[in-house]
Structure 1
Amino acid sequence: MRDLQITTTGPIVDKVNYVGASLTVDSVTYPARMRGRGNYTWFLPKKPYKVKLDKSTAMFGFPKSKDWALLANMLDESNIRTAVAYEIGRRIGRWAPRSVFCEVTLNGSYQGLYQFIESVEVQPGRLEIREMSGGDTGGAALTGPYVLEQDAYFVDPGWITPLGNEMNYDVPDVVGVPQQEAYIQNWINSFERLLVTGDVAWLQYADLPSWADWYLLQELTKNYDSQWYNSCKFYKDQGEPGRVVLWPPWDFDQSSGGWGAQQIPRSGWWTRQQRDQRNNWLMYAVRSPVFAGLLKHRWQTIFLPALADLDAYITTLADDLREAQVRDRAKWFGRPPALHHTAPFISSWLTVRKGWLTTNL
């Protein structure tokens, strides 16, 4: 647990305009800029923030970067669901954002418990792929990698596929580079058509291990957004024809037994279900015997060993946060947490969920 003191040059009023800021932790001050972040969560009383340091820095011992986030976790009163999901991601051998919990004071006002976390960026130590530039308009350079996000809020530049999915550009920002926009739109639209129509050729254009790992993590935790709805990040790798790599994970504040005020069942499928008019890629993927077989194999050989002592991690994390949780709750809630927002419940819920998946995959 760390104390993070933040002073800004003015109020942070939206998700567009950065405000000058200084962050002080362990008696060291870092100049930065800050703005709001999040979609639904930005309109909650406890605000999440985007942090951009003036200088690339190895905050809390993590790889150097200018780009970080402060997650408020107001929908997850336990504060630990996102950290637990990313711990599972790292245990299966993939990069997932690392974080430190801090008690934040903003301009002299106590703001409670926050998660200071790596954001998803194409950088050494994070998403380690080539970063495209606006000059990549031909040849192999044009083929990627393109980082995209399916997000129904659709607040960032992008396009809606012919089959109804909202694709948001992430890296590069291809707006204004017509060659890049045309290439990635045509590629994804074609891939999606193969997948949704049941053409087995889709398997050639998907990095299947990443698809299996992303799906299993989402289904294990019953992540609310994972029905190809929000915060579904992926990238098309470089090369022709290339493949869709379904990773990294992001946003688990509504998962592992709790969607805000709602306690959710431990059994039953979630991620593979159709949600609305958009075509859920995972619903079609699990129909493939090849993919279904890979899910069973990776669950047995990779996920189950990684989950063996997860209870100990959850207990230790909750113990570390206990005193700060009391202060955070006094600030924002004024009442004890519901049962499904407690660490023992989350631990028990995941254990039962693990058993259900072992039986039903």
Structure 2
Amino acid sequence: MRQLHFLLLLFPFCLSAQGGFVSSNLPIILIHTNGQSIPDEPKIDAVMQIIDNGPGQLNNINDAPNHFNGTIGIEQRGSTSNFFSDKKPYSIETRDASGEDMDFPLLGMPAESDWALLAPFNDKTLIREALIFQLSREIMPWAPRTRLVELFLNGQYEGVYMVTEKIKRDKDRVDIAKLKATDLAGDSLTGGYILKLDKTTGAPNEGWISPFPSQPGGWQTTLWQVEYPKPADLQSEQKDYIQQWITGFESVMNGPDFAHPDNGYSKYIDVPSFLDFTLINEMAKCVDAYRISTFLYKDKDSNDPYLHAGPVWDFNIALGNAGYCTAENPEGWIIDFNQFCPGDNWVVPYWWPRMWEDPLYRTQLKQRWATLRAGPLSDTNIFGKLDSLTQLLNEAQVRNFERWPVLYTWQWPNVYCCGSYEEHVAFMRNWLKARLEWMDANAKTLVTFETPGSLKETEVFPNPSADFIYFTLPEYSYSQADLRIFDLNGRLMEQVQMVSNTSLFTYDARRLPAGLFGFQIIQEGRVVKSGKISHIP
């Protein structure tokens, strides 16, 4: 430790001779490992100093470190982003003088000890993840906060990095109950848990293989990993509980009544969080969505009994930056990944697309998209943030690409290969504009009131009607069916159980205002009839 403190005194002088680098409008981070190589794991001891003179101020390489000046643990992080990148991402842990974890408010973010230093490399705009995280923070309870910085490692300039909050249980991150080793029964056993669908590289997690195939008829399996609590803290009773709970959810999603209003998926999941997670990933057309780098969490029942989707993570190959499995095309839903790449090792678990089979879920997606487009995901907000980020990097990106001259070389899995920084940004901007236009047009078709051809024999009469409307459906009994009534914007007006021992059901239209409405009849989790009805005074 004395050697590390000695380095704290010498380190600033070792950097003053960096060729051409004088100052930056971004915070400057200086890390020295005392000659050690940084492994994938475990973390090694290092010294970190940060120069940050505040908003609007330049940070000079010869300034004294005025934000952080102490010891850290550091290791490489990431799977694909590490393997395909010469510019390595890192995990860091702020520590006190005795080497213990120490919470610290890095660069104005809430105090914590665990952080990620993300390294945009194949994303030649350098801002894809920063942009999506910024937008997500306006939509979701929490998404990682970030700060763009310039990094020196052992005296060598390493380019633009992004200090990022790691996904972790914390009152300022994923705010769920702390699960103690003694929480083995009752309400305390029910949460909180953070789960992950991902590859198995990186830090080992406890987990289990789902008893259901990832896709019907496929050979792939779904690995559920417990991100929190960590393996050393997770008790067998806790693992058994969350595994059984998730398997119960999967069983419902694998059954005929998955969309039942009382006993279907809505009994298990926080639907609004799934809508937001889906729409932000669809907007970015993230090729990893739903299957890799996918997090979910559950609090204890007395706080919130539902499974939440999120937080979001990993968008460096989103927004038109992945040239495979149709991710390069601004058209099409990425939820359909399995249709285009059914042989991939990591496919989308069946329960994600199954939700889209429920007309009510699609209706809610349509409504939520319209709401977001009028606010956080408006063109003004999205492209305003994009412009602010690129302006922030106006000078730093030049130094970054002098260190990493990749602007005119293909890097996996680029779609747009070669051009200036401004041209890479323009490509992403144009792709995103086309994506938003496609989603605007196709979100409207998520709710349809057209009936499949084989079911068009069904009669709805009288229509229009001033009072009662009768529904008949050949070969079906309504003993286990639901009738859903929507306005023409797709908003659910009413849902009633169609209790009848015959194929005739009577609906009292007097409960509706005058006008035209869509309807859907749901039986065994599928639409067996849809169309329009008219109520007249």
Interval of TM-score (by shorter of Structure 1 and Structure 2): over 0.9
Aligned pair partner of 2:192 in 118, 122, 145? 145
Aligned pair partner of 1:88 in 121, 135, 138? 135
1:342 is aligned to 424
Aligned pair partner of 1:316 in 362, 379, 388? 388
More off after superposition, 55-64 vs 328-337: 328-337
Q: Does the 8 Å contact 1:57/1:65 carry over to 2?
A: yes
Residue deviations 1:52-83 (CA, integer Å, cap 9, x gap): 00121111111111111100122212111001
1:171 is aligned to 228
- Alpha-carbon distance change, 280 to 47 in structure 1, aligned in 2, over 3 angstroms: farther
1:48 is aligned to 89
Q: Does the 8 Å contact 1:272/1:282 carry over to 2?
A: no
Q: Is there any run of 5+ residues in structure 1 with no aligned partner, and where?
A: none
Aligned pair partner of 1:210 in 273, 283, 286? 273
Aligned partner of 1:56: which letter? D
Cα distance between partner residues in 2 of 1:351 and 1:31 = 44
2:78 is aligned to 38
Cα distance between partner residues in 2 of 1:299 and 1:334 = 36
Q: Does the 8 Å contact 2:291/2:349 carry over to 1?
A: no
Cα distance between partner residues in 2 of 1:263 and 1:196 = 27
- Alpha-carbon distance change, 358 to 263 in structure 1, aligned in 2, over 3 angstroms: closer
1:247 is aligned to 310
Q: Is there any run of 5+ residues in structure 2 with no aligned partner, and where?
A: 1-25, 52-64, 96-101, 213-220, 409-416, 444-537
Aligned partner of 2:253: which letter? L
Larger RCO, structures 1/2 (Cα 8 Å, 6+ apart): 1
Q: CA deviation at 1:260?
A: 6.8
More off after superposition, 200-209 vs 214-223: 200-209
Give the TM-score normalised by structure 1.
0.93
1:74 is aligned to 121
Aligned partner of 2:332: which letter? G
1:188 is aligned to 246
Cα distance between partner residues in 1 of 2:40 and 2:210 = 26
Cα distance between partner residues in 2 of 1:19 and 1:279 = 37
Total equivalences in the alignment: 360
Q: CA RMSD in A?
A: 2.2
Cα distance between partner residues in 1 of 2:31 and 2:117 = 12
Q: Does the 8 Å contact 1:222/1:256 carry over to 2?
A: yes
Aligned pair partner of 2:334 in 251, 267, 270? 270
Aligned partner of 1:142: which letter? L
2:352 is aligned to 282
Give secondary structure in 1 for the equivalent of 2:160: strand
Give secondary structure in 2 for the equivalent of 1:307: coil
1:22 is aligned to 47
Give secondary structure in 2 for the equivalent of 1:162: strand
Residue deviations 1:225-257 (CA, integer Å, cap 9, x gap): 10x321100012311893210011000001011
How many percent identity over aligned positions? 29
Give the TM-score normalised by structure 2.
0.63
Give secondary structure in 1 for the equivalent of 2:48: strand
1:123 is aligned to 170
Larger CA Rg, structure 1 vs 2: 2
2:364 is aligned to 294
Q: CA deviation at 1:16?
A: 2.0
Residue deviations 1:14-73 (CA, integer Å, cap 9, x gap): 332111122111213132111111012222311110010012111111111111110012
Q: CA deviation at 1:194?
A: 1.4
- Alpha-carbon distance change, 91 to 303 in structure 1, aligned in 2, over 3 angstroms: farther
Cα distance between partner residues in 1 of 2:73 and 2:193 = 27
Structure holding more helix per residue = 1
Q: CA deviation at 1:11?
A: 2.7
1:6 is aligned to 31
